[in-house]
Structure 1
Amino acid sequence: MTFYDRERELDALETAYESPGHEFYVVYGRRRVGKTELLQEFCADRPHVYFLAAQEAETRQREKFVEQVAEHFDDRVPRIERWDGAFEYLGDKLTSGLVVVIDEFPYLVAENDSLPSYLQSFVDERLRGTDSMFVLCGSSVSTMESEVLGHESPLYGRRTGQIDLQPFSFKQAREVITYDIADAIRSYAVTGGTPMYLTRFDYDESLRENVREQILSPTAVLYNEPEFLLRTELRNPARYMSILEAVATGHTTPNEIAGATGIDSGPLSKYLKTLRRLRLLERDVPVTASPKQSKRSRYRVADEFLRFWFRFVESNRSSIQEAPAVVYDGTIKPTLPDHVATTFEAVCQETVWEGIRRGELAPYSEVGRWWYGEDEIDIVGLAPNDDRILLAECKWTSEPVGRSLVSQLRDNAERVRWGPDTRDEAFAVFSKSGFVDGLTDELDDRWTLFDLSDVDAMLSPNS
């Protein structure tokens, strides 16, 4: 598989490797996000020992690790009974410039929770004072944060760097998605930025054919992917799946989720917390509110592919088995624009941040959604130090945006209680289908209008 992007992360690893002294790096992030590919790319031209842990008994895990070390040094495999002995053996063999990677470290901790203590001794007594590099990698974010990065971990304070690997942004994903800008946004609304999902699509084929072949086929990898992911993380995923389906189909507040799933508010809060910990759900509050204090929370599925799957696949599995083409044409295609509209808002928010970075928009320290009662604004940017606010709407519609939306945005701006009465207000409108004739000339310099060509220019991977 082609290795895409990740230049910043590779640069960080390479800088650490070239610096004097030892390195103890931690790489973690959600499953399928590309951690293994990143580390394999980094290790490719360097002397390295790469150990990929598995869900096996502790004895076999340790044996395989020792075998990997012995194989690298062309050594006879020693008989070692404990993990501290395994790390002693590795310490004896460390050579200048060696990279040692343990991938899926949480599998080892699950079998022996003393591993962090053994590694503490290895780092303090054997790695320190060398110019070798040791990397721990894991997909269980909660385990990595508690057992490696957390204050209570024996390894706390030992790391020299860490990478929390994120899915690709839309701009990063454009290196993979070769459709025109409109279809690229539609496609991103299906796959999201997870590299494994992005690279399953053949962008010489239509989006319809990709969805049919890569998602709606019962033999396709992505057909059961969300269920597989949940079963690797949770013993009983049924209720978690029902929550994700509820959120994906528009039930976003705790009360709405409880009503859609039949789960009482007490247990529901625990399920929501777990899904957030797994980075499958995200909690939003209005950008003008305090995240810790606000009670106006909404939830959203954190991954576009999971949102698509729980909206369109999970509830139609029986029909997909019989007639996938009918499901696409009769169920997915008619409501896909509504699904894509949510993704378009995220792409527009990314455009705002890119405009801020380039200096084409004034700086804002916070950018997010705003709502109060029935009133909503898609994007609001706040610059508290300058008493400046940006208010923006995003329209994924087949008709050009007209004057009514401009008037509505002006009216809604008055309802956003933030800053002094003398605050500076800027406005922006993003439109898939452009704008009615003459609208640009009627607006003052506080307004910025973005059509798809403007978004494309801002988020082109080469820009």
Structure 2
Amino acid sequence: MIREFVDRETESALLEEEWQKDGGRLIILYGRRRIGKTRLITEFVRDKKGILHFAEDTAPQIQIRRLQEAIAQFFDDPLLATLEIATWDQLFTYLARIPLPERRYLVIDEFTYLIKNDPAVLSALQKAWDTAFAGSNLYILLSGSMLGLMTDSALSYTSPLYGRRTRDMLLGPLRFADARKLLPWFSFRDALKAHLTIGGIPEYLLKAGDYPDYRTFVEREFFSRYGYFYREPYFLLSQEFRELKTYQAILNAVAVGNTSASSIAQFCGMDARHLYPYLEAMTRLGIIEKELPLLGSRRQGLYRIKDCIFDFWYNFVFSHRQEIEMESLTGDAVDMNPYFGKQFEVFVRNEFARSVLPGYTVGRWWYRGEEIDLVAARESDASIVFGECKWGSLTEREGRGVLTRLMQKAGGVRHDRYPNERFCLVAGSIEAKDRLREEGFLIYDLEEIEAVCAAG
């Protein structure tokens, strides 16, 4: 069954814009595995003519032969099919000689497999581009999932393709408003929990969408040794890195609450000076990120796991592997609420706040043990919003207590540039929220979040 193709309007429009331009086009599309690159490509080329080639991780000669066969078949070229072609240079040179009176595409999906097994493909493509493809009607689209290899070999200034590409696109995860469309059976709360667990990765969401609710999904696919996600983060790491034990130790350290470089190094038994190359490598690939307080010292950076699947896995699967192998772990056996509380804060900052606080720069603040979950500042009217996020339900008394402590903490933030301040509370549910709003507070719970998501 072909599933609904959601979102990606911006990316589809950019690909179409390149298609309509004159001359040769060279687009590089990259993103983590399962992000939806292949689906985007197949939707884009659906009504167009050209060659869609799916590369495989195999010997260069086999790769050359397979692409040669695809080109020969598309152009109905029996001569090409019989030629002994041994190099990428020969193949691209032959392709360059085929006249193209109209726009045609050459799409190579998982181009990183070609680079990995024969880096000479880059120089061969550069030569063909400079001598023929740039002035032709050929639309070349190269996609790849090995982010390190794609960045270093195809996008960096040392790459033979540097300065040739007409556009590069990093495909990111779906926003929750779009991701929810792939979870038709889930309640809103369950859909949000799934998003906080696996992020906006289309293939992951489709897997979750096969289940009636979040609990069943997690028990079957995470807490089972036969589950789809039981080894997934390990496979993702092994695709990019060799020193897996070190990367796993670092991710485990961050997942359980070690967020400064010194505490991560101490947890892993490493010298902090040796830690940074690993942190930088995972930051470059979007697995972790370094956060800085919105208003505060730029030297107070803390690390967090950016990719939800890694955060959830190292919190609950990595630490319970023995029980999972013995088939003795259920969703009731682990308390996920602290995890959801942490990820709910991130969701509010990265998605929800940007919808209800347009024009604001959004982040958080911390200093000497004090922390504010949400800080949003807007230059145009010198306004600032301080907010707290709570995953659970709050009584009116609890809500007022949270807001009182928030106002006290806000007094320690240097925000002279923003004299117009307001205070915000976001929670799963909040009793007497209308009364709090009448007093000037910004109050949101899952009911408002659902309405905002439904509005797009």
Q: TM-score, normalised by structure 2?
A: 0.92
Taking the aligned partners of 1:279 and 1:404, their CA distance within structure 2 comes to 36
Give, in whole Å, the separation in 1 of the partners of 2:437 and 2:107. 59
Aligned to 2:347: 347
Q: Which residue of 2 aligns with 1:280?
A: 287
> 1:437/1:58 Cα in 2 relative to 1: closer, same or farther (>3 Å)?
closer
Q: How many residue pairs were aligned?
A: 446
Percent identical residues: 33
1:255–1:88 distance in 2 versus 1, CA, 3 Å: same
The answer as to whether partners of 1:402 and 1:436 remain within 8 angstroms in 2 is: no
Q: Which of 86, 94, 98 does residue 93 from structure 1 map onto? A: 98
Deviation at 1:134, TM superposition (A): 0.5
Letter in 2 for 1:351: F
**Counterpart contact for 1:16–1:23, Cα < 8 Å:** yes
AA aligned to 2:406 is L
Q: 2 CA distance for matches of 1:252 and 1:275?
A: 14
SS in 2 for 1:398: strand
- Give deviations 1:334-381, integer Å, cap 9, x for gaps: x21111112211221211111244xxxxx21x2111111111111111
Q: Which has the larger displacement, 231-240 or 73-82? A: 73-82
CA distance in 2, matches of 1:437, 1:82: 69
Structure 1 ranges of 4+ moved more than 4 A = none
Is the contact between residue 402 and residue 439 of structure 1 (CA under 8 Å) also seen in structure 2?
A: no
Do the aligned partners of 1:190 and 1:308 also contact (CA within 8 Å) in 2? yes
Which residue of structure 2 lines up, in the alignment, with residue 406 of structure 1? 403
The answer for the alignment partner of 1:301 in structure 2 is 305
- Cα deviation 1:186-236 (Å, max 9, x = unaligned): 121222111121111136512111111122222222211111111111123
Q: Which moved further from structure 2: 237-246 or 51-60?
A: 51-60
Q: Which secondary structure state, in structure 2, belongs to the residue aligned with residue 128 of structure 1?
A: helix
Residue range with higher mean Cα deviation, 240-249 or 126-135: 126-135
Confirm or deny that 1:121 pairs with 2:127: yes
1:389 to 384, 391, 397: 384
**Hey, what's the Cα distance between the residues in 2 that align with 1:426 and 1:164?**
36
Residue 136 of structure 1 is aligned with which of 142, 150, 163? 142
1:327 aligns with 2:324: no
| Amino acid in the other structure paired with 1:380 | V
Tell me the amino acid that sits aligned with residue 348 of structure 1. Answer: V
Structure 1 segment 4-83 matched on structure 2, within 5 A? 4-76=6-78, 77=81, 78-83=83-88
Q: CA deviation at 1:241?
A: 1.0
Structure 1 residue 156, shift from structure 2 partner: 2.0
Partners of 1:302 and 1:67 lie apart in 2 by 41
1:432-463 superposed Cα distances (whole Å, 9 cap, x missing partner): 1113466425523xx31112111111122x53
Q: 1:453 aligns with which of 427, 447, 455?
A: 447
Matched residue SS, 1:396: strand
What is the aligned partner in structure 1 of residue 367 from structure 2?
372
Supply the distance in 2 between the matched residues of 1:141 and 1:418 (Cα, whole angstroms).
Answer: 39
The answer to whether the Cα contact below 8 Å between 2:437 and 2:443 also exists between their aligned partners in 1 is no
**What TM-score results when the alignment is normalised by the length of structure 1?**
0.91
**Partner amino acid for 1:417?**
R
Contact 2:103 2:138 in 1 (8 A): yes
CA contact (8 A) 1:384 1:419 kept: no
Q: Structure 1 regions of 5+ residues with no counterpart?
A: 358-362
Give the AA of the match of 1:311. N
Relative to 1, partners in 2 of residues 1:131 and 1:342: Cα closer, same or farther, differing over 3 Å? same
Q: Which runs of 5+ in 2 are unaligned?
A: none
Deviations 1:407-440 (A, max 9, x none): 11111111111334x6221222111111346642
Shift of 1:161: 1.8
SS in 2 for 1:379: strand
Match of 2:317 in 1: 313
2:170 corresponds in structure 1 to 164
Aligned equivalents of 2:377 and 2:433: distance in 1? 31
Aligned CA RMSD, in angstroms, stands at 2.0
* Higher alpha-carbon deviation: 101-110 or 165-174: 101-110
Amino acid in the other structure paired with 1:456: E
Q: Deviations over 1:268-325 (max 9, x none)?
A: 11211121122211111112247xxx2212111121122111110111111112224x
Change (3 A) 1:147 1:181: same
